[in-house]
């Protein structure tokens, strides 16, 4: 783990530094560790934001002191090659089932990239144990990891001007779900009626970072 | 029960939004911080009318706006150099002004600077979303930008207006000098890029908005090609997209981004008043 400076009040933990642990696994381990430390009052940070290969700590009163503390902390890493729900998420994180109607317009394109038939795409997706790696792009948009690296997909060359809310989509190594209608360049494989982001709910999403997720045929 | 006091929007202007101190603490769910582009100016306006500093007010952009308040109330305007009139009576920025019920309050176009903050005694009492009433122009959280004919509820006044005669805000300088901390991805750029960033003048592009101030000037060449996996972004991050032109993230910035951040500006609030064409220079943290 390498600590990169970010202005006067933040630090970025770069999790690409260990050859034996995939970055996404190390990110999840650090996220869980830092959230736990903050909960226990050992860490004062306004934001702890996991992403693809990094964890951002923002709103730190004294980043240099935090960097020193971080050097002495070692999160529990379960080397799960990025797939299964990591033990670092804690045993209490219940798996969220997302019912999906697999009728997306890009199913044939995905099948072609994966060199399989269209019916096999939902089979592979429902057979994958996903985990929310991080949220971004829009409030409550989850980036789900768990697909094998060889199934990574490109984005559309031209993004669609409007992707409907609830669209289940694939891009790069991730699956994602659009919480609201927006422009989007991911390949659409289906849609869900699950409400992903509700500002009146506490928390506003059930699919926060670290949550194990399964896609199930609706 | 009496009808709650309201603001009637007679002329919304180019972009008038409800703003408070934003919704920090939700970035891990993809929720931008949002809030007033110059929080100190909004806090001051709130103090002038006797509000707590976090009360919601209006952020008014460039062309001003016209409002009518259904209750006699105290208001204060801070930020850009604008005219303030309550009916035929001229007011000043930076001091409390009593506005009789039904009188039209006119905030004129900015003569210098871009944005003003209007605080109203009692604050704007639209429902809070994730702890904030701020309009987030990126994600759409909070109330929509104001339109002509909108009505906004006012809260009950908190207390007496501040016993202050006049506060004088500094005029925006013709050229901004912004302090920059290198990183987190300065190593994705050639050494020339950082020298250029510190050594040359950039101008604020007309494409700037509440999400970010886009700059035009010497392009910043990359040492590392390819895409950066998405990572968390902070206020003031100087992101460099493929065209090499830097963009400084402001309050409505996305929570994650895939272009490398060469450095982070310590204080972005002067950018709230930077008109297109304004010169921006960066200097290192050592000066």
Tens of pLDDT, residue by residue over A125-173, are 999 999 999 999 999 999 999 999 999 999 998 999 999 999 999 999 9
| Residue where a domain terminates, one of B89, B119, B153 | B153
Residue A79's pLDDT is 58
* Same domain flag for A106 and A202: yes
* Same domain flag for A145 and A209: yes
* Same domain flag for A160 and A59: no
The ipTM assigned to this model is 0.94
* Same domain flag for A106 and A213: yes
Which region among A87-96, B2-11, B31-40 has the lowest average model confidence (pLDDT)? A87-96
Instruction: Give, for A210, the enclosing helix (H) or strand (E).
Output: none
Phi, psi at A111, each rounded to 5°: -60, -40
* Same domain flag for B87 and B193: no
Asked whether residue B170 is assigned to any structural domain, the reply reads: no
Quote the minimal CA–CA distance from A119 to chain B in Å.
31
* Same domain flag for B53 and B119: yes
* Same domain flag for B108 and B190: no
How many other C-beta atoms are found inside a 10 Å radius of the C-beta of residue A175? Answer: 27
The tally of domains found in chain B comes to 2
Closest chain A residue to B255 measured between Cα atoms? A136
Are B214 and B99 a contacting pair, CB within 8 Å?
no
Q: Which residues contact B263 (CB under 8 A, 6 or more apart)?
A: B180, B181, B182, B183, B186, B194, B197, B238, B282
Strands (E), chain A: 2-6, 10-14, 47-50, 54-58, 96-100, 130-135, 142-145, 160-163, 167-171, 174-177, 182-184, 187-191, 212-217
Asked whether residue A142 is assigned to any structural domain, the reply reads: yes
* Same domain flag for B105 and B15: yes
Asked whether residue A30 is assigned to any structural domain, the reply reads: yes
Asked whether residue A89 is assigned to any structural domain, the reply reads: no
Asked whether residue A90 is assigned to any structural domain, the reply reads: no
Question: Domain range for residue A39?
Answer: 2-84
How far is the C-alpha of A71 from the C-alpha of A2, rounded, in Å? 9
How far is the C-alpha of B255 from the C-alpha of B271, rounded, in Å? 20
Quote the minimal CA–CA distance from B83 to chain A in Å.
36
**Measuring CA to CA, how many Å separate A81 from each of A28, A40, A85, B112, B211?**
12, 29, 10, 56, 36
- DSSP secondary structure code for residue B259 in this structure: S
Closest of A56, A16, A19, A15 to residue A34, by C-alpha: A56
Q: Do B184 and A5 touch (CB under 8 A)?
A: yes
Confidence of residue A83 (pLDDT cuts 50, 70, 90): very low
Quote the minimal CA–CA distance from A53 to chain B in Å.
7
| Residue where a domain terminates, one of A60, A84, A108 | A84
CATH number of the domain where residue A151 is located: 2.40.100.10
* Same domain flag for A189 and A104: yes
Instruction: Answer yes or no: is pLDDT of A85 > 50.
Output: no
Residue-wise pLDDT tens digits, A183-204: 999 999 999 999 999 999 999 9
Residue A93's pLDDT is 73
* Same domain flag for B122 and B183: no
**Tokens for A39?**
């909960």
* Same domain flag for B23 and B84: yes
Residue-wise pLDDT tens digits, B151-190: 999 999 988 877 776 677 667 778 999 999 999 999 999 9
Instruction: Answer yes or no: is pLDDT of B115 > 50.
Output: yes
DSSP characters over B73-117: EEEEEEEEE--EEETTEEE-TTS-EEE-TTPEEEEPPPSEEEEEE
Residue-wise pLDDT tens digits, B2-28: 678 999 999 999 999 999 999 999 999
* Same domain flag for A22 and A74: yes
CATH number of the domain where residue A52 is located: 3.30.1360.40
Residue B1's pLDDT is 53
Are B40 and B264 a contacting pair, CB within 8 Å?
no
Asked whether residue B163 is assigned to any structural domain, the reply reads: no
* Same domain flag for A79 and A134: no
| Residue where a domain terminates, one of B153, B186, B212 | B153
**How many CA atoms are closer than 13 Å to the CA of B105, on its beta-carbon side?**
29
Asked whether residue B161 is assigned to any structural domain, the reply reads: no
Residue A89's pLDDT is 47
Identify which has the larger pLDDT, A84 or B149.
B149
* Same domain flag for B119 and B54: yes
Closest chain B residue to A180 measured between Cα atoms? B139
* Same domain flag for A130 and A151: yes
Residue found under tokens 């895939």:
B258
* Same domain flag for A131 and A199: yes
How far is the C-alpha of A97 from the C-alpha of A177, rounded, in Å? 13
Residue B161's pLDDT is 78
* Same domain flag for B106 and B217: no
Instruction: Give, for B264, the enclosing helix (H) or strand (E).
Output: strand B261-265
Burial of B170 (C-beta count, 10 Å sphere; 0-12/13-18/19+): exposed
| pLDDT over 90 percentage in chain A | 88
Q: Do A47 and B24 touch (CB under 8 A)?
A: yes
* Same domain flag for B22 and B140: yes
Residue A108 Cα to chain centre, angstroms: 25
Closest of A178, A133, A187 to residue A159, by C-alpha: A187
| Residue where a domain terminates, one of A28, A58, A84 | A84
Asked whether residue B168 is assigned to any structural domain, the reply reads: no
**Tokens for A58?**
């923002």
| pLDDT over 70 percentage in chain B | 97
Instruction: Answer yes or no: is pLDDT of A86 > 60.
Output: no
Q: Do A47 and B27 touch (CB under 8 A)?
A: yes
Asked whether residue A91 is assigned to any structural domain, the reply reads: no
Are B94 and B64 a contacting pair, CB within 8 Å?
no
Instruction: Give, for B37, the enclosing helix (H) or strand (E).
Output: none
Question: Domain range for residue B118?
Answer: 6-153
Model-level pTM? 0.94
* Same domain flag for A67 and A139: no
* Same domain flag for B136 and B209: no
Q: Do B231 and A48 touch (CB under 8 A)?
A: no
* Same domain flag for A194 and A130: yes
| Residue where a domain terminates, one of B98, B123, B153 | B153
**Tokens for B79?**
């930020």
Asked whether residue A134 is assigned to any structural domain, the reply reads: yes
The tally of domains found in chain A comes to 2
Residue-wise pLDDT tens digits, B219-276: 999 999 888 999 999 999 999 998 999 999 999 999 999 999 999 999 999 999 999 9
* Same domain flag for B199 and B138: no
Closest of B120, B133, B84, B147 to residue B4, by C-alpha: B120
The region that residue B154 occupies, defined by phi over 0 for left and psi between -120 and 50 for alpha, beta otherwise, is beta
* Same domain flag for B58 and B148: yes
**Measuring CA to CA, how many Å separate B90 from each of B38, B51, B82, B98, B127?**
25, 23, 11, 11, 32
Q: Do B29 and A51 touch (CB under 8 A)?
A: no
The mean per-residue pLDDT over the stretch B78-82 comes to: 96
* Same domain flag for A190 and A158: yes
Q: Do B265 and A138 touch (CB under 8 A)?
A: no
How far is the C-alpha of A136 from the C-alpha of A191, rounded, in Å? 19
Chain A residues lying within 8 Å of B25, measured CB to CB: 46-47
């Amino acid at each position: 783990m390498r600590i990169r400076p970010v202005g006067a009040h933040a630090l970025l933990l770069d999790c690409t530094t260990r050859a034996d642990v995939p970055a996404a696994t190390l990110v999840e381990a650090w996220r869980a560790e830092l959230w736990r430390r903050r909960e226990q009052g050992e860490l004062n940070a306004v934001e702890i934001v996991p992403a693809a290969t990094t964890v951002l700590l923002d709103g730190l009163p004294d980043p240099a002191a935090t960097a020193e503390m971080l050097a002495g902390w070692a999160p529990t890493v379960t080397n799960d090659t990025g797939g299964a729900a990591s033990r670092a998420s804690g045993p209490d994180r219940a798996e969220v089932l997302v019912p999906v109607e697999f009728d997306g317009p890009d199913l044939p394109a995905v099948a072609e990239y994966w060199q399989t038939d269209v019916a096999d795409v939902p089979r592979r997706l429902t057979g994958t144990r996903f985990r929310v790696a991080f949220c971004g792009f829009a409030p409550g948009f989850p980036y789900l990891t768990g697909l094998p690296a060889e199934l990574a997909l490109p984005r559309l060359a031209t993004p669609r001007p409007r992707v409907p809310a609830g669209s289940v989509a694939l891009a790069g190594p991730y699956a994602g779900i659009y919480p609201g209608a927006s422009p989007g360049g991911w390949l659409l494989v289906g849609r869900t009626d699950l409400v992903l982001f509700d500002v009146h709910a506490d928390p506003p999403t059930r699919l926060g970072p670290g949550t194990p997720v399964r896609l199930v045929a609706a | 029960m009496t009808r709650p006091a309201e603001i009637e929007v007679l002329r919304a202007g180019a972009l008038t939004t409800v703003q408070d101190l934003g919704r920090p603490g939700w970035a891990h769910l993809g929720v931008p911080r949002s809030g007033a582009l110059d929080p100190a100016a909004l806090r001051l306006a709130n103090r002038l009318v006797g509000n707590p500093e976090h009360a919601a007010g209006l952020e008014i952009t460039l062309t001003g706006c016209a409002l009518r308040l259904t209750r006699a109330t105290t208001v204060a305007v801070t930020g850009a150099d604008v005219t303030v009139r309550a009916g035929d009576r001229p007011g000043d920025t930076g001091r409390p002004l009593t506005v009789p019920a039904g009188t039209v309050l006119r905030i004129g176009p900015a003569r210098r600077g871009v944005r003003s903050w209007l605080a109203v005694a009692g604050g704007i009492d639209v429902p809070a979303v994730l702890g904030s009433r701020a309009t987030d122009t990126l994600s759409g959280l909070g109330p929509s930008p104001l339109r002509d004919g909108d009505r906004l509820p006012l809260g009950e006044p908190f207390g007496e207006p501040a016993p202050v005669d006049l506060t004088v805000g500094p005029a925006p300088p013709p050229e901004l000098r912004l302090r920059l901390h290198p990183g987190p991805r300065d190593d994705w750029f050639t050494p020339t890029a950082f020298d250029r960033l510190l050594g040359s003048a950039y101008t604020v592009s007309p494409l700037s908005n509440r999400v970010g101030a886009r700059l035009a000037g010497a392009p910043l060449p990359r040492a590392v090609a390819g895409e950066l996996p998405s990572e968390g972004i902070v206020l003031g991050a100087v992101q460099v997209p493929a065209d090499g032109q830097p963009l400084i993230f402001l309050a409505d910035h996305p929570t994650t981004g895939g272009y490398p951040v060469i450095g982070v500006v310590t204080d972005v609030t002067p950018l709230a008043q930077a008109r297109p064409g304004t010169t921006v220079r960066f200097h290192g943290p050592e000066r």
